[in-house]
Structure 1
């Protein structure tokens, strides 16, 4: 199973941040404001919630 939202560019959308800007944050070219950090944090927390719902079963 793959989770494309674990990609920096794909994670920008749920955070409501431009993908190019998100890549610049990730590479350290630019630094996010406190408001942008809150958006990123909220998106990460939502991903964690979604990942916690996954159940793995051995066959």
Structure 2
């Protein structure tokens, strides 16, 4: 079954926004850090972008 994400005409995914200045508490809170969340979202974005680009080449 095709989904909207499979539509080759779909727009590319949008990258996540990094935390704003002052959002990080600088307490090295590990997995709870907003930078950790950002880097995980960035990795998901990179994967989605690679998949989108592959669909564009298949057209």
TM-score when scaled to structure 2? 0.42
Greater percentage in helix = 1
Higher relative contact order (CA 8 A, sep 6+): 2
- TM-score, length basis structure 1: 0.42
